[in-house]
């Protein structure tokens, strides 16, 4: 093989550029092969590292720094994504299952370690590696609509216990390995750890609430604050002789409630899953010695198999314990088992920390054979876990929910033939931000149809952007353009005989200007035009993103390809019956009733869905559509298809418009998981409405 290292420029920029290209190209290729993107990053690390082309060196300062940042960020996101609300709701049962799914794998790992000749310290650490789990199957159960099943809620809540306990064991084991062990030093270590955890969990939580309250809408500074918190916590952990990933995980828990599920969290997860966390997986691949890995697969087969089997059996026994204690059925028990199998985030980070931990004599806490065995464990469980979750969770019954009362912000203003006193019920108001002369006609027409049907009014809103560096002529030009846009909207309102109240605002933040104006006029709905999302919008957030998160009322983002009055056949996919889904159905009913259009509710079920489950869900849908709202012609279609996005796109070809719900992206193991809505939007060719409920 030619010596490629001689051609490499001696600059850190080369390593960074190469890592960016790997992250950009490799994961999509592996995902097309139905393999996790993180596997592709590991393979790329092997190919580019000392065992391959030798283009990247794991000991290089730049590579080591980026890998460390990725490891810290991975554990931070793991803490940030734990649903504390679910944990609090079923905390006793979550702690019970968490104890079982931690203790049994811990004992199994200790047994494996001692059987293979490892010291007690290393054996305990091996046990802790098996005790945590990563919720790779969450997107699957979310897609199947069974997240609210108690067994699943308990499994999700147990994650917080297993991850914290596993990281505490790691901290103690690394500390023992690094110096002389004594009961006094252990007590001091545990005391320092407890004090540190209190400072991080309560101190950073308070500090975050105060900072977010004082900074208001300054999302850029809030994002930097979150980054500062995670790295400060990691640095503090090292100062008290604890691995930095413990501090990162605690920091994620500390700011969990503060960040919530808003735009700042989206930015944090986007930057992590797109940039930093992939660095860690490539770095893991760089450390993988192909020859040593091959020896582990051959000479150390017993160790590798015993670790994998110990995990599978101990996690299964923990699920059986939960079944017996809490009287879950067989399917729920198997689903809990499959969800707790994947070993990615905490396991890989802790394994690397144990492998890199050296004692004064230079001996590693975990040998290369354990490191390689855990890589195999990760590959097996990250593939097997989601497959089993899809198999078992599809057999769970969908949660039965009564049709919920309509919230205050809902689309429930009175119809023209039923007008209560304006003193008790405010008029139905639709705010329409106007910016693009090419699309505003259809948007105002859509709003006028809805407002006329509800005896309400339309508020066309133009935002004249202003900032501190803008001179007066620029501001005057922006105001004049906004006035011209508003003049056109008045003529459209006259055609539909609807009151139009144009509103001009000057604001340095377009999204906040829209949200504040909608609140000031007590709007029932915001209707916006569609805009493409480029890289800048994904990173910094588009106007639509910000309005979705800040608005007090529902937001309907529309891509209208024909006049709304010509839209006769409307499709609305419904996966699970939630308040958000009900509001999307109400919107579709309201629009269909404005000009006697028809509505089709599409339910895409898993291929393993039973006829009884289909019948139950269709019955629930009938109750939803007949419970409240306008009476419009409707039908229900059920399609059993594993690829929900493809089913929606295929069905959309027979309709004039599709109404989709706005869905947030979620990460699994630090890698972004695209949702059905995101995939469907790219391929739907008819008119489209993306409907989102308020978050504030």
Which CATH number do you get for residue 154?
1.20.1530.20
CATH no. for residue 648? 3.40.50.620
* Band (302; pLDDT cuts 50, 70, 90): confident
| 482 within domain boundaries | no
The CA distance from 527 to 688, in Å, is: 12
> Encoding tokens for residue 677?
């809505």
The CA distance from 93 to 87, in Å, is: 9
Q: Mind listing the pLDDT tens digit for each residue in 5-55?
A: 556 667 778 888 888 888 888 888 887 776 767 778 888 888 888 877 888
| 78 within domain boundaries | yes
> Encoding tokens for residue 90?
């079923």
| 497 within domain boundaries | no
Report residue 634 CA to chain centroid gap: 33
Residues 580 and 624 in one domain: yes
Residues 405 and 360 in one domain: no
Q: Mind listing the pLDDT tens digit for each residue in 511-546?
A: 888 888 888 888 888 998 886 554 344 434 467 777
Residues 42 and 184 in one domain: yes
Q: Mind listing the pLDDT tens digit for each residue in 449-508?
A: 888 888 888 998 888 877 655 566 777 777 777 787 787 777 777 777 888 888 888 877
- Please state, as a whole number, how many other Cβ atoms lie within 10 Å of the Cβ of residue 367: 18
| 511 within domain boundaries | no
Q: Which of 91, 67, 78 is nearest to 16 (CA)?
A: 67
Q: Which of 538, 544, 34 is nearest to 275 (CA)?
A: 538
- Of 393, 418, 437, the residue at which a domain comes to its end is 393
| 462 within domain boundaries | no
- Of 349, 366, 393, the residue at which a domain comes to its end is 393
Residues 405 and 276 in one domain: no
The CA distance from 104 to 128, in Å, is: 10
Residues 332 and 405 in one domain: no
| 601 within domain boundaries | yes
- Please state, as a whole number, how many other Cβ atoms lie within 10 Å of the Cβ of residue 537: 14
Is 284 a residue whose pLDDT tops 70?
yes
| 347 within domain boundaries | yes
Residues 159 and 70 in one domain: yes
Q: Which of 260, 231, 180 is nearest to 70 (CA)?
A: 231
Q: What is the reported pLDDT for 694?
A: 65
Residues 89 and 146 in one domain: yes
Q: What is the reported pLDDT for 467?
A: 62
- The torsion of the CA quartet 307, 312, 317, 320, rounded to 10 degrees, works out to 170
Q: Per-residue pLDDT averaged across 414-443, rounded? A: 68
Q: Mind listing the pLDDT tens digit for each residue in 258-282?
A: 776 666 777 777 777 777 888 888 8
- Of 346, 364, 393, the residue at which a domain comes to its end is 393
Residues 137 and 270 in one domain: yes
| 431 within domain boundaries | no
The CA distance from 444 to 458, in Å, is: 8
93 dihedral zone (left: phi>0; alpha: psi -120 to 50; beta): alpha
The CA distance from 310 to 298, in Å, is: 19
Is 668 a residue whose pLDDT tops 50?
no
Which domain does 300 fall in, by range?
Answer: 4-393
Q: What is the reported pLDDT for 496?
A: 76
Q: What is the DSSP letter of 691?
A: E
The H or E element spanning position 371 is helix 368-393
Residues 369 and 405 in one domain: no
Q: Per-residue pLDDT averaged across 660-684, rounded? A: 62
Residues 22 and 114 in one domain: yes
- Please state, as a whole number, how many other Cβ atoms lie within 10 Å of the Cβ of residue 507: 16
The CA distance from 442 to 561, in Å, is: 9
* Band (571; pLDDT cuts 50, 70, 90): very high
Q: Mind listing the pLDDT tens digit for each residue in 219-234?
A: 778 888 888 888 888 8
Distance of CA 256 to CAs 114, 153, 233, Å?
38, 18, 14
Residues 405 and 371 in one domain: no
The CA distance from 619 to 615, in Å, is: 6
Domain count, the chain: 2
3-state secondary structure of 433: strand
The CA distance from 304 to 370, in Å, is: 8
Q: Per-residue pLDDT averaged across 549-576, rounded? A: 86
Is 3 a residue whose pLDDT tops 70?
no
Q: What is the reported pLDDT for 673?
A: 40
Residues 274 and 172 in one domain: yes
């Amino acid at each position: 093989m030619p010596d490629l290292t001689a051609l490499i420029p001696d600059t850190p920029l080369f390593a960074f550029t190469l890592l960016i290209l790997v992250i950009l190209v490799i994961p999509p290729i592996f995902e097309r092969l139905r393999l996790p993107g993180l596997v592709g990053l590991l393979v790329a690390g092997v190919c580019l590292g000392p065992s391959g082309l030798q283009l990247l060196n794991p000991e290089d300062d730049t590579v080591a720094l980026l890998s460390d940042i990725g490891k810290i960020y991975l554990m931070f996101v793991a803490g940030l994504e734990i649903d504390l609300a679910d944990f609090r709701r079923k905390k006793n049962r979550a702690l019970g299952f968490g104890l079982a799914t931690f203790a049994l794998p811990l004992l199994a790992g200790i047994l494996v370690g001692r059987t293979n000749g490892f010291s007690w310290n290393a054996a305990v650490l091996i046990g802790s590696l098996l005790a945590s789990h990563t919720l790779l199957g969450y997107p699957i159960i979310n897609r199947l609509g069974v997240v609210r099943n108690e067994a699943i809620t308990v499994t999700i809540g147990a994650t917080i216990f297993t991850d914290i306990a596993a990281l505490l064991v790691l901290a103690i084991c690394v500390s023992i390995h690094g110096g002389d062990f004594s009961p006094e030093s252990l007590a001091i270590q545990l005391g320092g750890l407890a004090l540190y955890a209190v400072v991080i969990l309560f101190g950073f939580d308070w500090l975050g609430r105060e900072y977010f309250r004082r900074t208001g809408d300054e999302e850029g500074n809030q994002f930097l604050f979150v980054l500062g918190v995670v790295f400060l916590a990691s640095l503090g952990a090292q100062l008290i002789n604890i691995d930095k990933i413990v501090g990162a995980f605690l920091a994620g828990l500390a700011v969990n409630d503060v960040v919530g599920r808003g735009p700042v969290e989206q930015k944090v997860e986007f930057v992590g899953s797109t940039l930093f966390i992939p660095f860690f997986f490539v770095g893991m691949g760089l450390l993988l010695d192909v020859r040593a890995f091959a020896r582990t697969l051959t000479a150390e087969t017993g160790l590798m198999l015993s670790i994998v089997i110990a995990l599978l059996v101990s996690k299964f026994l923990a699920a059986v314990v939960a079944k017996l204690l809490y009287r879950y059925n067989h399917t729920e028990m198997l689903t809990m088992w499959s969800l707790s199998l994947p070993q990615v985030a905490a396991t890989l980070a802790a394994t690397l920390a144990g492998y890199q931990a050296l004692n004064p004599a230079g001996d590693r806490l975990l040998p290369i054979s354990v490191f390689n065995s855990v890589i195999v464990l990760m590959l097996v469980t990250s593939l097997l876990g989601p497959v089993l979750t899809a198999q078992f969770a599809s057999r769970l019954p969908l949660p039965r929910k009564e049709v919920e009362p309509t919230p205050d912000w809902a689309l429930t203003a009175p119809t023209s033939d039923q007008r209560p006193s304006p003193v008790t019920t405010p008029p139905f108001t639709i705010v329409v931000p106007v910016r693009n002369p090419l699309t505003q006609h259809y948007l105002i027409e859509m709003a006028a149809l809805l407002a006329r049907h509800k005896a309400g009014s339309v508020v066309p809103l133009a935002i004249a952007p202003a900032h501190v560096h803008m001179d007066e002529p620029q501001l005057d030009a922006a105001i004049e353009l906004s006035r011209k846009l508003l003049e056109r909207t008045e003529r459209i309102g006259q055609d539909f005989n609807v009151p139009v109240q144009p509103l001009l605002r000057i604001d340095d933040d377009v999204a906040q200007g829209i949200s504040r104006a909608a609140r000031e006029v007590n709007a029932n709905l915001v209707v916006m035009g569609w805009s493409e999302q480029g890289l800048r919008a994904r990173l910094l957030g588009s106007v639509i993103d910000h309005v979705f998160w800040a608005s007090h009322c529902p937001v309907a983002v529309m891509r209208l390809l024909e006049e709304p009055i010509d839209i006769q056949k409307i499709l609305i996919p419904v996966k699970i019956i939630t308040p958000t889904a009900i509001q999307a159905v109400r919107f579709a009913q309201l629009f269909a009733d404005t000009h006697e259009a028809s509505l089709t509710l599409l339910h895409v079920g898993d291929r393993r869905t039973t006829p009884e489950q289909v019948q139950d869900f269709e019955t629930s849908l009938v109750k939803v559509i007949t419970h409240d709202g306008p009476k419009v012609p409707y039908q229900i279609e059920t399609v059993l298809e594993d690829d929900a996005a493809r089913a929606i796109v295929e069905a959309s070809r027979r309709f004039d418009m599709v109404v989709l719900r706005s869905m947030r992206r979620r990460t699994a193991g630090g890698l972004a998981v695209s949702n059905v809505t995101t995939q469907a939007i790219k391929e739907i060719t008819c008119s489209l409405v993306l409907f989102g409920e308020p978050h504030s």
